[in-house]
């Protein structure tokens, strides 16, 4: 594949925090990052942690609700 046909960079993040970035020049960067998303148990979608809320029972975080669902 020639670099002239690439349109931009590609960033992939797995649920475990592992990220892979493919740069325009063909460089591949792999690293671990903290996730700032979680699965909303109400709307059943991956959403940003900001504004969300964990419901707890006996001190354990049981259910996470996104900002729209809480």
The whole-number pLDDT of residue 5 equals: 58
Alpha-carbon torsion, ordered 58, 64, 69, 70, to 10 deg: 40
Across 2-6, 14-18, 44-48, 59-63, least confident range: 2-6
The whole-number pLDDT of residue 1 equals: 47
CA distances, 18 to each of 37, 54, 56, 60 (Å)? 13, 24, 28, 26
Q: What's the rounded Cα separation, in Å, for the pair 19 and 41?
A: 24
Query: Do 65 and 42 fall into the same domain?
Result: yes
Query: Do 30 and 41 fall into the same domain?
Result: no
pLDDT of 66 higher than 90: yes
Query: Do 1 and 30 fall into the same domain?
Result: yes
Query: Do 7 and 29 fall into the same domain?
Result: yes
Query: Do 5 and 25 fall into the same domain?
Result: yes
Contact by Cβ (8 Å): 46, 38: yes
> 59: burial class by Cβ within 10 Å (0-12, 13-18, 19+)?
exposed
pTM, rounded to two decimals: 0.52
The whole-number pLDDT of residue 44 equals: 94
């Amino acid at each position: 594949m020639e670099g002239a046909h690439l349109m931009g960079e590609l960033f992939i993040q797995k649920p475990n925090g592992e990220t892979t970035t493919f740069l325009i020049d063909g460089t591949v960067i792999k690293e671990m990052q903290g996730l700032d998303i979680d699965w909303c148990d109400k709307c059943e979608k991956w959403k940003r942690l900001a504004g969300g809320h964990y419901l707890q029972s006996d001190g354990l975080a049981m259910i996470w609700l996104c900002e729209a669902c809480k």
